Structure 1
Amino acid sequence: MTNGLKIVVIGGGSSYTPELIEGFIRNYDTFPVGKLILVDIEAGKEKLETVGRLAQRMVAAAGVPMTVELTLDRRAALPGADFVTTQMRVGLLEARGWDESIPLKYGMIGQETTGPGGMLKALRTIPVLLELCREMEELCPDAWLLNFTNPAGMVTEAIQKYSKIRSVGLCNSPIAAYKWLSKLYDVPESQIHCEFVGLNHLHWITDIQVNGESKLPELLDNRSGYSAANVPQFAWNGTLLQGLGAIPSYYLKYFYLHRETLAEQEAALAKGESRAQTVQRLEDELFELYKDPELKEKPKQLEQRGGAFYSEAAVRLMHSLYNDTGDIQTLNVSNNGMLDFLPDDASIEVNCKVTAEGPIPQRPEVVPDAVKGLIRQVKTYESLAIEAAVTGDRQKALLALAHHPLVNSVGAAEQMLDEMLERSKAFLPQFFAAAE
């Protein structure tokens, strides 16, 4: 392609964007991006301009023939796109604050991608992503949509159920595991192989090989495990790890260490140190850095954001799809029989061989019996929540909450749901249009 690839980034004003730009610059020789269009909404205009100017300085300093354009007109950006990536937050950080704080009032975990908060984020986000998909079907039907808008697994499942667009979901958790192991064993990531099985933010690593040698037995004695900046870390119970025979994702702290994480969240909120508040401070600091006209590279401070390495994972996936590499990446894809206890159209998170035709899921060698029930229960919740997001059905939304392991009372859940829906009313027309 003489003019290079066209990439459209929805949510281009995100603080993650400089990491994406860095990836495009580093991989230009084998993934030649000719035009990059950063798209955002009116409320994000100032951030878009700040990040966009930094992106333009980075590209100019690198000397690659890539143009960076900024726009608030999504439809104008899409025609001819080869790849579209999404990194949006419907309702901005204010909505994240609601998702984290309201459940705590009812004695339940407040988190932006799992539990009640995760459901509200899905209810706000899925209709917006499906609208984007309809525009892509019209304007760039052959493009790949790479979604790393959370809750990534649920959003990906909704896209694959309700749209014809070629899409893949991805998360930074698997790449974070590789970076942890690379540092732990002082070897390149290319010499490490991990077997993942489960759902987005609900996966287990069932094998870890370094240079072909399994390190899982010794790692099951390392109770600290891997974590991320946005998930509080507690030591795992060694007996639990030995029984599982697998290393849980750090998001499983909310399930396996429910009481401890709930207490930590309540204490943090009381001190004005909730994750939403912390992220807001980090964002403010990052954007002050981004405004510096002398800054021409991704600042190191960006790695303090919980989603660090999302963009690295996204560039790797685009590169592999474009170059038909056949390498293994951990992605969110339709089940299609990989896990025989879930529906074929359920989105799962497993290793995939990445080809030009798309990711090919690799059947997990081990699925611990002890995790199947939790996977099935959370998937039931997710499927109901997706249906609620599309239809605006409050009964479906409550039914979804009733099936979530982190919801401890349907009575309290109904009150909580009413409050959360009302607070996000401006972003939930599907729930309020009929009533009005």
Structure 2
Amino acid sequence: MRLAMLGGGGFRTPLVYGALLRDRHERRVSEVWLHDVDERRLATVRRVLAELADGHEDAPVVHATTDLDTALEGSEFVFSAVRVGGLEGRVADERVALDLGLLGQETTGPGGLSYGLRTVPVAVDVARRVAALAPDAWVINFTNPAGMITEAMQSVLGPRVVGICDSPIGLARRAAATLGVDPSATRVDYVGLNHLGWLRGLWHEGRDVLPDLIADDGGLAAMEEGRLFGPDWVRSLGMVPNEYLYYYYFTRDAVRSITTAPHTRGEYLLDQQRRFYAAVGGDRRGALAEWDRVRTERNATYMREARDDGEARAEADVHGGGYEGVALAIMAAIARGEPAELILNVPAGGTVPGLPDDAVVEVPCTVDAAGPRPHPLPPLTGHPLGLVQQVKAVERLVIEAALTGSERRAVQAFALHPLVDSVTVARELLTGYRARIPAVEAVFAR
């Protein structure tokens, strides 16, 4: 099979290639086309992949190109993991919001809307090229904000675009492991949007065992989400929130922590990746070891603003993977008929009453040769439904603004987001992002 990886010069590409190397099925990916707009980053990542492939017979052949059509043509699967505006754009996403006293985060709140505004037009253009050059391909979307971008691409390609995120799957696995049950022997009740969902049930041998975890202070203290939210708040909810809900439930705490830190997450990653690509840019061995060292450092500092000073992430979370395993399982299910149970970003199709059927939600699915099918779920009620409806309405306004260049719709999107407290501030956000990020200004300058 032929796989195109868009954003192939990105730091996480070796994770996916490593998963491909472990796949020994006769119908596996034999050819990988990396696409990126930065030739230097492509060359650096190819050095890491070459070292990964050492000692592997029949390793997938790797090609690299800066021409999108060359990468796409004839591909059976397309992974999309692009960052429009680069990490410099992420830094501005965070800082413009923080300067106005609001949360500055990559996917949640104003920063996520800015990221979506400049990414939606690019993602839709990619979808059109896929439709023209690889009409039977499945697109697996890693690009953030994952739910919004998946929904925008589906306007062109329909359900052949699937959005993935490792966060909800990691949550379910941590809960199962804490309870001492095999994650593969559980049935998960999880529902929401990308980076905005709740684990409501975990069924094992015919019984929902999640209440056992929620009632156990020691068990909650042993897992990431229990430490983030605290046992009292988890018990008051009666379910375990996705880690990104920290930014909604503890907004002031998050803003204070980020504001008082020496740098934002985007600034940290920008500096780290500049040093990594510069160090590995020369033609030398050791690229894989340096990549692995930087990856471990990066994972260990993930969501540091939500943890107490000096508190380390669990070892399994630091070294564990995520996206690559989900992506490989989707390909195996569709191409080889190996059914998989995964939490994915797919059209609601009635799964979440209160949302349009074509709204992309994040829910458990069965995946087979026909693609993903959402599981029937109990209705979403109470404040989670209201929050999901509000954020989904905002996402749709961002998509409309990005595709039409409507400043009015963009201001509406910022103003109606639950983490923005004023229409005046919404206008200032849009002005700030247009001034700081050329790719955002380009949306409205057409």
Which stretch shifts more, 10-19 or 169-178? 169-178
Partner of 1:399: 412
CA change 1:410–1:308 in 2 (3 A) is farther
1:339 to 341, 352, 377: 352
Partner of 2:269: 279
Distance in 2 between residues matched to 1:275 and 1:301, nearest whole Å: 15
**For 1:241-390, what aligned pairs fall within 5 Å after superposition?**
241-268=234-261, 271=262, 273-284=263-274, 286-287=276-277, 288=279, 293-294=285-286, 299=292, 301-303=294-296, 304-305=298-299, 306=302, 308-365=321-378, 367-390=380-403
CA change 1:88–1:329 in 2 (3 A) is same
Q: CA deviation at 1:207?
A: 0.8
Partner of 1:93: 87
One-letter amino acid matched to 2:10? S
CA change 1:226–1:350 in 2 (3 A) is farther
Partner of 1:33: 29
Partner of 1:105: 99
8 Å Cα contact 1:7-1:37 kept in structure 2:
yes
Distance in 2 between residues matched to 1:237 and 1:294, nearest whole Å: 42
8 Å Cα contact 1:34-1:67 kept in structure 2:
yes
Distance in 2 between residues matched to 1:378 and 1:105, nearest whole Å: 23
Distance in 2 between residues matched to 1:428 and 1:143, nearest whole Å: 32
Name the structure with the higher helix share.
Answer: 2
TM-score under structure 1 length normalisation: 0.89
Question: What do the CA deviations read for 1:206-234 (whole angstroms, capped 9, x no partner)?
Answer: 11235555331132244558549xxxx96
8 Å Cα contact 1:178-1:192 kept in structure 2:
no
Distance in 1 between residues matched to 2:17 and 2:212, nearest whole Å: 38
**For 1:58-207, what aligned pairs fall within 5 Å after superposition?**
58-164=52-158, 166-181=160-175, 183-185=177-179, 188-207=182-201
Q: CA deviation at 1:62?
A: 1.3
Distance in 2 between residues matched to 1:14 and 1:371, nearest whole Å: 34
8 Å Cα contact 2:114-2:440 kept in structure 1:
no
8 Å Cα contact 1:122-1:151 kept in structure 2:
yes
Distance in 1 between residues matched to 2:125 and 2:159, nearest whole Å: 12
Distance in 2 between residues matched to 1:286 and 1:220, nearest whole Å: 41
One-letter amino acid matched to 1:302? R
Distance in 2 between residues matched to 1:262 and 1:321, nearest whole Å: 42
Q: CA deviation at 1:164?
A: 4.6
Is 1:417 matched with 2:430? yes
Give 5+ residue unaligned stretches, structure 1: none
CA change 1:119–1:39 in 2 (3 A) is same
Residue 112 of structure 1: SS of its match in structure 2? coil
TM-score under structure 2 length normalisation: 0.87
Q: How many pairs were matched up?
A: 420
Give 5+ residue unaligned stretches, structure 2: 303-319
CA change 1:247–1:178 in 2 (3 A) is closer
Q: CA deviation at 1:278?
A: 1.9
Q: Kindly, what percent of the aligned residue pairs are identical?
A: 34
Question: What do the CA deviations read for 1:260-318 (whole angstroms, capped 9, x no partner)?
Answer: 111111112xx2x2101222344346544687524568726525345952222212222
CA change 1:274–1:234 in 2 (3 A) is farther
Which stretch shifts more, 208-217 or 360-369? 208-217
CA change 1:162–1:23 in 2 (3 A) is same
8 Å Cα contact 1:352-1:361 kept in structure 2:
yes
8 Å Cα contact 2:276-2:294 kept in structure 1:
yes
CA change 1:366–1:286 in 2 (3 A) is farther
8 Å Cα contact 1:170-1:314 kept in structure 2:
yes
Over the aligned positions, Cα root-mean-square deviation in angstroms equals 2.4
Residue 107 of structure 2: SS of its match in structure 1? coil
Distance in 2 between residues matched to 1:299 and 1:319, nearest whole Å: 26
Residue 357 of structure 2: SS of its match in structure 1? coil
